[in-house]
């Protein structure tokens, strides 16, 4: 898992935090271009990362708001994902 919230990890890839924000990504895709964040994802996948932790750039988000972006997951290591929902808030059968 690449930790894009860590300055040393970003520095090792010559990556600035601003490089993670891609407000025009959808427009770039529609125009036939590859957004810089997709190029970064391709680099990280090629390096063996299954995902990354990155701060949210959504409108109104603060630096403490984080996203987990997964490119690969499974029920086996190294891409093991286990959902913990002790309160049943994510259940499809939950009554509203």
- Please state the rounded mean pLDDT for residues 20-38: 92
Task: Give a yes or no: residue 91 inside a domain.
Answer: no
**Structural domain containing residue 63:** 2-70
Q: Over pLDDT 70: what percentage of the chain?
A: 94
Task: Give a yes or no: residue 55 inside a domain.
Answer: yes
- Please state the rounded mean pLDDT for residues 56-85: 91
Task: Give a yes or no: residue 88 inside a domain.
Answer: no
Number of domains in the chain: 1
Task: Give a yes or no: residue 12 inside a domain.
Answer: yes
Task: Give a yes or no: residue 93 inside a domain.
Answer: no
pLDDT at residue 5 greater than cutoff 90: yes
* Token couple for 57: 């750039």
The reported pTM is: 0.77
What's the pLDDT score for residue 18?
Answer: 84
- Please state the rounded mean pLDDT for residues 14-41: 91
Burial 23-48 (b: 16+ CB within 10 A, else e): eeeeeeeeeeeebebeebbeebeeee
């Amino acid at each position: 898992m690449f930790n894009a919230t860590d300055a040393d990890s970003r520095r090792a890839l010559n990556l600035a935090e601003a490089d993670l924000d891609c407000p025009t990504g959808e427009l770039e895709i529609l125009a036939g271009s590859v957004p810089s964040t997709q190029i970064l994802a391709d680099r990280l996948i090629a390096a063996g990362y299954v995902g990354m932790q990155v701060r949210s750039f959504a409108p109104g988000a603060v630096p403490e708001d984080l996203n987990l972006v997964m490119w690969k997951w499974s029920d086996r290591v190294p891409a093991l994902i286990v959902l913990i929902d002790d309160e049943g808030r994510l259940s499809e059968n939950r009554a509203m």
